[in-house]
Structure 1
Amino acid sequence: MNDPFARLPEAPSFTVTSTTVADGERLPSAQHSGMFGVPGGQDASPQLSWSGAPAGTKSYAVTVYDPDAPTGSGFWHWAVANIPADVTSLPEGAGDDSGSGLPPGAVQLPNDARLARFLGAAPPAGHGEHRYFITVHALDVTDIGVPADATPANLGFTMAGHILGRATLIATASIS
C-alpha cells in the first residue's frame, strides 16, 4: 500500500472530520473533477473541521493527494498553506479559483494540473480504485515560507521539519 507518510517522521495524530467526505468511503460527485470531464464533478473542495491539534500549533496546511495516480509520483489535488492556528474548519468549496472560503493569509499552491485551486478526483476509467489522502498538518510556524507558485511537493519538503501533528481522512474514487 503506497502510504505517502510511511517514510516521513511520525507525527502525533489529531482529529479531522467532514460533512461532505467520510473516512474510508467514496468521494461524493461534487468532489470529482468536472474540469477533467467527470460527469457531475464540481471540483468542490470538501468541508473540513479539525480539533485536538498539539500545543504549540501556529498554523495549518491542508493537502489532498492521490498516491494511486498512474504517474510514478502520484497526483496532488490541493495544497493550502499558512492557515492561521485559530482557524479549525474550512467550508465546502473553499478551494475555488479565488480561494473565497479560505481565511486571510492562507495561500493555495498550484496542484499537479498547475491550477491554484482544488481539483476533484478523476482517476482514469478502468484504472481501479484510487485513494485520496485529505490531510491537515499542524505546524510550529505561522508562515511556512513557500512562494505562492511552489509545488505541493516543495511544501511537503519544507513542512517536514515543522510538523507537530497530522490528521488524515482517506476517501476513494474509481471510474468504470
Structure 2
Amino acid sequence: MADTFKLSSTDISQGKFMGNTHEFQGFGCAGGNASPQLSWTGAPAGTEAFAVFAYDPDAPTGSGWWHWQVVNIPKDVTTLAAGAGDPAKNATPGDSVSIKNDYGVAGFGGACPPKGHGVHRYQFTVYALSKKLELPKEASGALAGYMVRAHALASSSIEALYKRD
C-alpha cells in the first residue's frame, strides 16, 4: 500500500532547486517565505489524518532544522495550497495543528542556509496517520516527529534543494 502513496507539488521537484519564493525572510534572507503547494494521493486504508513536515538535515546544528510541522490534517484533505504555512493567513485546514518550527514560529519558515555552506536538502514529507494525534499545546518538534512516526501508515517525500552563495 505504501508504494501507492505519493506526494507531488506544482512548486518544488525532487532533486531540483527551490525558488526564492520559498526562502525565509529574516536571518539575512530576503525571500517570500511561502510554503510550497503540496498534494498527495493513494493514502492507505485506515488513514485518519495526515501530517506534513519540512526538514533540513544539512543545517549546521547537530540536529538539522525543522522548517514546518503540521499535524492532524483532516483525512479528506489531499492538498495544501501554496502559502498555507503562513500563520497570519490561518490557512491550514480543519483542526490541524502547526508545531513551532526552529525559527520559533508555529507555521512555515523558509530555507535560509548559511552563506557559503553549500547545497542544503529540504525534505518535504507527508505522512498518513492511523489516528489524530494528541499533543501538548507547546509540543516540541522532536515530540511531534516521534508521535507522527509512531502512528504513520505510510509516507512520501520530495527532497528539494537550496543554497546561498
Q: Percent identity?
A: 45
- Measure, in 1, the Cα distance between the counterparts of 2:78 and 2:24: 26
Q: Give the number of the structure whose residues are more often strand, by fraction.
A: 2
Once the two structures are TM-superposed, the CA of residue 98 in structure 1 deviates from its matched residue by 3.2
* 1:12-48: CA deviation from partner (whole Å, max 9, x where unpaired): 3411111111111001111001123323x11101100
Contact 1:63 1:136 in 2 (8 A): yes
Unaligned ranges ≥5, structure 1 = 1-10
1:52 pairs with 9, 33, 42, which one?
42
Structure 2 equivalent of residue 7 of structure 1: none
1:90 pairs with 80, 88, 108, which one?
80
Runs of 4+ in 1 over 4 A off after TM superposition: none
1:18 pairs with 5, 9, 33, which one?
9
Written as runs of structure 1 = structure 2, the 5 A alignment for 1:27-176 is: 27-39=18-30, 41-98=31-88, 100-141=90-131, 143-176=132-165
Specify the code of the residue in structure 2 equivalent to 1:140: S
C-alpha RMSD over aligned residues: 1.3
Contact 1:68 1:74 in 2 (8 A): yes
Unaligned ranges ≥5, structure 2 = none
- Measure, in 2, the Cα distance between the counterparts of 1:62 and 1:85: 13
Specify the code of the residue in structure 1 equivalent to 2:138: D
Which stretch of the first structure deviates more once superposed, 96-105 or 149-158?
96-105
Contact 1:125 1:175 in 2 (8 A): yes
* 1:83-120: CA deviation from partner (whole Å, max 9, x where unpaired): 01100000000011235221120111100121101000
Specify the code of the residue in structure 2 equivalent to 1:84: P
- Measure, in 1, the Cα distance between the counterparts of 2:39 and 2:154: 15
Once the two structures are TM-superposed, the CA of residue 129 in structure 1 deviates from its matched residue by 0.5
Which stretch of the first structure deviates more once superposed, 147-156 or 49-58?
147-156
Specify the code of the residue in structure 2 equivalent to 1:18: S
TM-score by length of 1: 0.89
